[in-house]
């Protein structure tokens, strides 16, 4: 009846879409209502410094599943074309995902929700259940979905439909002897927001002051269209905030239903539950509405790259724990291998390091493991190195570059890259950034040399396609 062995647990991965790490009650937000996520944090570990590998959906998801950097797997921007059907392209064809390792170990796999890695209508290896969104998002009613290669339009509110589908999968798998992995990939709280969410959730925020999302002046790198109008901006900011918060709370309720079914089936102790998001989100933070491509050049603000992360398995993972060690999505694959006890040798090509010791209750290292206390990000020609105290952002080939003193300036308001007092810090971080990427990058997939502008990727990176692989960047800067 699924796995009842805590040492060989089932895996439930719940992935939200465009959820900033700030958008949970357990993270200190006293306005947003996420009681079920807060309860999950109370019975497991909340990681408060968990970073995506790229601050936009498709490359971040590709890195989460492969453990590779974008400059290894070749997905450098959100996929704007070839989602499904005859012309659908699997952008991860030939690459090993952690779900492939699960399948090899005898797990039965299921997907409910957003895939957005190409060929979204075709199940990956080992998946016995596939209920996938046709593209990367869209309206919450009438969503185009594929169930076992058959296209349908989902009439229900999509967040609820995905929860229903996940509950049905858990119920069916509980009668089988094999362990399972279930990926529940919500499109929430990704836009659209206004008029898209049930009144029972929007009504909660009609009188909200939204002090946790202060709306400052527009960021100077906000792209403009040919008429000088901000690209991707929000015309009705209050409606957008209400919708974003409502979408998050509706998703939280759906998560609660899934976890309640896991409890009712008696599988909580033998199931590793992971909740995280693909990338962060700025809901007015830094004068931006969006994530890494909310500006051009693309940004690496913590609000874009920091994602929520909760992990729970009562009996194996300490409860009510907060961990502020710097960790990344590229650390997830080796951690799963260790926690599940899979017979998979270490792959020196992969940049991640297992944090299964932290899941087991070990104290994180204090400054002795440089790989663990420093994280890296990339988005095309934009690369970041972040330590506990500083962040350095390098943009190839000519900048602009950024350096932030995170101790004195946690909000990343003051760029000190030209401050001579921090020359030694900048040189050290830049050298470490170069050395790390030189160690792991596949030269054929090197994003630092690609025209990634944040407007989408159409085709895989192969010789002869570079000029047409990416959509042109958004309109001129102000």
Query: What pLDDT was estimated at residue 271?
Result: 98
To the question of pTM greater than 0.75 for the whole model, the response is yes
The predicted model gives 114-135 an average pLDDT of 96
Give residue 464's pLDDT.
63
Tell me if 10-359 shares its fold with 375-460.
no
Q: pLDDT at residue 1 above 70?
A: no
**349, 440 Cβ separation under 8 angstroms:** yes
Q: How far apart are CA 351 and CA 331, in angstroms?
A: 8
Of residues 459 and 5, more confidence is placed in: 459
The share of the chain scoring above pLDDT 90, in percent, equals 87
Residue ranges covered by each domain of the chain: 10-359, 375-460
Mean pLDDT over each residue of the chain, to the nearest integer: 94
Structure tokens belonging to residue 319: 């409860």
Residue predicted with more confidence, 237 or 148: 237
The reported pLDDT for the residue numbered 476 is 57
| 188 neighbors 16 (Cβ within 8 angstroms) | yes
pLDDT given for residue 370 in this prediction: 46
381 has a pLDDT exceeding 60 = yes
Nearest Cα to Cα of residue 268 among 170, 165, 356, 159: 170
Query: How confident is the model over 258-268, as a mean pLDDT?
Result: 98
In CATH, the architecture of 10-359 is 3-Layer(aba) Sandwich (3.40)
Domain 375-460 has CATH 3.40.50.880: no
**270's tokens:** 């033998």
The conformational region for residue 318 under phi > 0 = left, psi -120 to 50 = alpha, else beta, is beta
Least Cα distance to 122 among 82, 149, 87 occurs for 149
Q: Which of 199, 209, 290, 214 is nearest to 246 (CA)?
A: 199
Task: Write the pLDDT tens digit of every residue in 178-231.
Answer: 999 999 999 999 999 999 999 999 999 999 999 999 998 899 998 876 666 666
Our CA angle for 60, 63, 68, nearest 5°, is: 145
Q: 321-323 and 45-47: which strand pairing? A: parallel
Give pLDDT, residue 327.
97
pLDDT at residue 367, as a whole number: 52
Q: Match 């990727």 to its residue by tokens.
A: 457
Asked if the bond preceding 397 is cis, omega within 30° of 0, the reply is yes
Given a cut of 80, whether residue 261 has pLDDT beyond it is: yes
Task: Give the pLDDT of residue 467.
Answer: 63
Of residues 311, 320, 299, the one with CA closest to residue 384: 299
Q: Above 50 in pLDDT, residue 447?
A: yes
- The C-alpha torsion from 158 through 163 and 165 to 167, rounded to 10°, is -170
Distance CA(293)–CA(360), nearest Å, equals: 36
CA 385/CA 376 separation, integer angstroms: 5
Does 364 score more than 80 pLDDT?
no
């Amino acid at each position: 009846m699924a796995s009842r062995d805590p040492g060989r647990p089932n895996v439930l991965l719940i992935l939200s879409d465009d959820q900033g790490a700030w958008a949970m009650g357990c993270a200190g937000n006293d306005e947003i209502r996420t009681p079920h996520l807060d309860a999950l944090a109370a019975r497991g570990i909340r990681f408060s410094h968990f970073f995506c590998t790229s601050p936009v959906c498709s490359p971040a998801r590709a890195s989460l599943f492969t453990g590779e950097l974008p400059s290894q797997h070749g997905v450098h921007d959100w996929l704007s074309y070839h989602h499904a059907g005859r012309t659908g392209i699997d952008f991860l064809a030939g690459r090993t995902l952690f779900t492939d390792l699960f399948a090899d170990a005898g797990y039965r796999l299921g997907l409910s929700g957003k895939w957005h890695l190409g060929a979204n209508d075709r199940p990956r290896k080992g998946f016995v259940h596939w209920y996938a969104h046709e593209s990367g998002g869209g309206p919450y009613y009438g969503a185009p979905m594929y169930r076992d290669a058959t296209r349908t339009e989902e009439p229900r509110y999509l967040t609820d439909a995905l929860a229903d589908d996940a509950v049905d999968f858990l119920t069916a798998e509980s009668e089988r002897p094999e362990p399972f992995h279930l990926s529940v990939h919500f499109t929430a709280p990704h836009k659209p927001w206004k008029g898209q969410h049930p009144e029972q959730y929007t009504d909660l925020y009609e009188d909200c002051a939204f002090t946790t999302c202060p709306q400052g002046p527009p960021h100077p790198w906000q792209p403009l269209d040919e008429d000088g109008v901000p690209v991707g901006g929000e015309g009705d900011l209050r409606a957008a905030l209400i919708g974003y918060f409502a979408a998050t709370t509706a998703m939280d309720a759906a998560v609660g239903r899934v976890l309640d079914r896991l409890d009712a089936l008696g599988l909580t102790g033998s199931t590793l539950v992971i909740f995280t998001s693909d990338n962060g989100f700025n809901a007015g933070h830094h004068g931006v509405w969006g994530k890494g491509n909310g500006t051009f050049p693309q940004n690496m603000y913590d609000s874009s790259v920091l994602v929520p992360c909760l992990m729970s398995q009562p009996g194996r993972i300490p409860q009510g724990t907060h961990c502020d060690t710097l960790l990344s999505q590229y650390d997830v694959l080796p951690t799963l291998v260790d926690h599940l006890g899979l017979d998979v040798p270490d792959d020196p090509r992969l940049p991640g390091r297992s944090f299964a010791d932290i899941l087991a209750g070990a104290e994180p290292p204090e400054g002795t493991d440089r790989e663990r206390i420093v994280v890296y990000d990339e988005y095309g020609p934009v690369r970041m190195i972040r330590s506990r105290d500083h962040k350095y952002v390098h943009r190839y080939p000519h900048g602009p570059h950024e350096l932030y003193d995170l101790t004195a300036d946690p909000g990343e308001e003051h760029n000190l890259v030209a401050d001579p007092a921090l020359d030694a810090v900048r040189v050290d971080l830049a050298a470490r950034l170069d050395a790390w990427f030189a160690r792991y990058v596949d030269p054929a997939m090197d994003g630092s040399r690609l025209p990634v502008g944040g407007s989408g990727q159409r085709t895989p990176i192969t010789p002869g396609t570079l000029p047409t692989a990416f959509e042109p960047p958004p309109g001129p800067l102000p």
